[in-house]
């Protein structure tokens, strides 16, 4: 009887083992099917740069005019009654130096002029009586005129002890403080005119001849919630920066709202019709910014659809356009770029293209 029970137990265990093995195989097959399920992606047909309406450059906002204000005389600065960022009117007092020395010099010159005047009047009286030669009278007259002119010249130093704004604008910076010694030509404050701002755009030497005065541009300022401002090319440099093959195109923008401040970063867009260098085949393919990725080695790459699989393509990026990034090499215009779902795939991943 014990033998019979033992046999039954062995049969039961064997049956259970076969069941578990079959179940595990079924689950394994299901997991395999899940792992092989294609990733759903969206694609975009590539083409040439025909869809790019404008070309973009990074730059910063600057004042259209910047003036360093300085005194015409030397002296100790008594006060500078303006602050950085303050708007000042034409003729407003900017700074003042001590006039004590110049007033004393003027008073001394006035005294000399008065003595010369009295001497000339005495000599003239005697000359009219015929008691002295004419040359004596003329010498006295010349001395009087010279002393008067010297007094007049010395007086001019007194009003020069006060520095006034030659035009309306904003105080960009203060170069000196009260108590310091000012001198002729030494900047005291910087006065900025920002009714019109100027954006200095660096342009490569291969493209500078594509621009001319009067060309239209748009500036997008991120600090102002990507506000857009219309501008016009005002100046184009004829010499490159020292040691750098870049030229400068100045774009003037009306700033009636006074929102634009010098130093703000911006992107400047020029109409693509101005960009004529090269041929269509030489111009880059433009792809959405988000589709371009970079690996740990700093290599830029994208994914394209290769049948039912994803294929990684290393690319060389170029300029920024209004609708994406230019790809200089690594892509063909006939390829299908993966623009959605690319963060879930790697090279060779099975994909399913959806609309």
pLDDT in tens, 138-149: 999 999 999 999
Task: Identify the architecture of domain 100-157 in CATH.
Answer: Orthogonal Bundle (1.10)
Residue from 144, 142, 196, 146 nearest 170 by CA: 196
Calpha distance 113→108 (Å, rounded): 9
Calpha distance 214→234 (Å, rounded): 6
Q: Tell me what pLDDT residue 13 has.
A: 36
What ranges do the domains of the chain cover? 39-51+281-353, 56-64+193-274, 100-157
CB 52 within 8 A of CB 319: no
Q: How many CA atoms lie within 13 A of 259 on its CB side?
A: 15
**Token match 């000042």: residue?**
88
Residue 274, classed as helix, strand or coil, is: helix
Distance, C-alpha 183 to centroid of its chain:
33
For residue 319, the tally of other CB atoms under 10 A from its CB is 18
DSSP string of 63-83, one letter each residue: EEEEEEEE-SS-EEEEE----
CATH number of 39-51+281-353: 2.40.420.20
Calpha distance 163→268 (Å, rounded): 38
**Token match 């001849």: residue?**
209
Query: For residue range 72-126, what is the model confidence (pLDDT) as tens digits?
Result: 999 999 999 999 999 999 999 999 999 999 999 999 999 999 999 999 999 999 9
Query: For residue range 25-82, what is the model confidence (pLDDT) as tens digits?
Result: 444 444 544 456 899 999 988 764 444 567 888 899 999 899 999 999 999 999 999 9
**Token match 């709202």: residue?**
257
CATH number of 56-64+193-274: 2.40.30.170
Q: Give helix then strand counts, H and E, for the chain.
A: 3, 21
DSSP string of 115-142, one letter each residue: HHHHHHHHHHHHHHTT-S-HHHHHHHHH
Q: Tell me what pLDDT residue 8 has.
A: 46
DSSP 154: H
pLDDT at 309 > cutoff 70: yes
pLDDT at 271 > cutoff 80: no
Calpha distance 355→44 (Å, rounded): 10
Q: Tell me what pLDDT residue 284 has.
A: 66
Residues contacting residue 209 through CB under 8 Å, at least 6 positions apart: 277
Name the H helices within the chain.
Answer: 2-35, 100-128, 134-156
Q: Tell me what pLDDT residue 289 has.
A: 85
Kindly report the backbone phi and psi dihedral angles of residue 186, in degrees, each rounded to the nearest multiple of 5, phi listed first: -85, 120
DSSP 350: B
Domain 39-51+281-353 and domain 100-157 have a common topology = no
Calpha distance 179→188 (Å, rounded): 12
> What tokens does 67 get?
């003036």
**Token match 């010499």: residue?**
239
The CA distances from residue 137 to 96, 103, 110, 117, 126, in Å, are 43, 31, 21, 12, 9
């Amino acid at each position: 009887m014990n033998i019979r029970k033992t046999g039954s137990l062995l049969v039961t265990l064997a049956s259970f083992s076969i069941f578990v093995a079959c179940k595990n195989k079924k689950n394994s097959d299901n997991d395999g099917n899940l792992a092989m399920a294609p990733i759903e992606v969206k694609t975009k047909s590539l083409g040439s740069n025909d869809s790019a309406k404008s070309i973009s450059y990074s730059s910063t906002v600057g004042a259209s005019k910047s003036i360093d204000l300085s005194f015409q005389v030397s002296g100790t600065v008594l006060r500078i009654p303006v602050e950085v960022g303050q708007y000042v009117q034409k003729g407003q007092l900017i700074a003042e130096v001590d006039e004590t020395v110049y007033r004393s010099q003027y008073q001394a010159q006035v005294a000399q002029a008065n003595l010369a005047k009295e001497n000339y009047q005495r000599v003239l009286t005697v000359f009219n009586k015929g008691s002295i030669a004419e040359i004596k009278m003329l010498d006295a007259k010349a001395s009087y005129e010279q002393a008067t002119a010297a007094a007049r010249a010395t007086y001019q130093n007194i009003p020069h002890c006060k520095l006034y704004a030659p035009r309306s604008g904003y105080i960009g910076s203060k170069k000196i403080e009260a108590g310091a010694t000012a001198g002729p030509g030494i900047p005291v404050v910087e006065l900025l005119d920002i009714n019109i701002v100027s954006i200095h755009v660096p342009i490569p030497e291969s493209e500078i001849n594509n621009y001319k005065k009067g060309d239209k541009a748009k500036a997008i300022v991120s600090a102002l919630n990507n506000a857009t401002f219309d501008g016009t090319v005002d100046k184009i440099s004829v010499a490159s920066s020292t040691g750098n093959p870049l030229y400068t195109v100045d774009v003037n923008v009306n700033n009636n709202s006074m929102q634009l401040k010098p130093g703000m970063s911006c992107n400047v867009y020029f109409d693509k019709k101005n960009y004529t260098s090269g041929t269509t085949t030489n111009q880059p393919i433009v792809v959405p910014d988000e589709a371009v990725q970079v690996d740990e080695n700093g290599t830029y790459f994208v994914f394209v659809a290769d049948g039912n699989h994803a294929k990684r393509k290393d690319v060389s990026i170029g300029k920024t356009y209004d609708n994406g990034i230019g790809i200089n090499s690594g892509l063909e215009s006939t390829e299908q770029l993966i623009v959605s779902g690319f963060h879930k795939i790697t090279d060779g991943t099975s994909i399913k293209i959806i609309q």
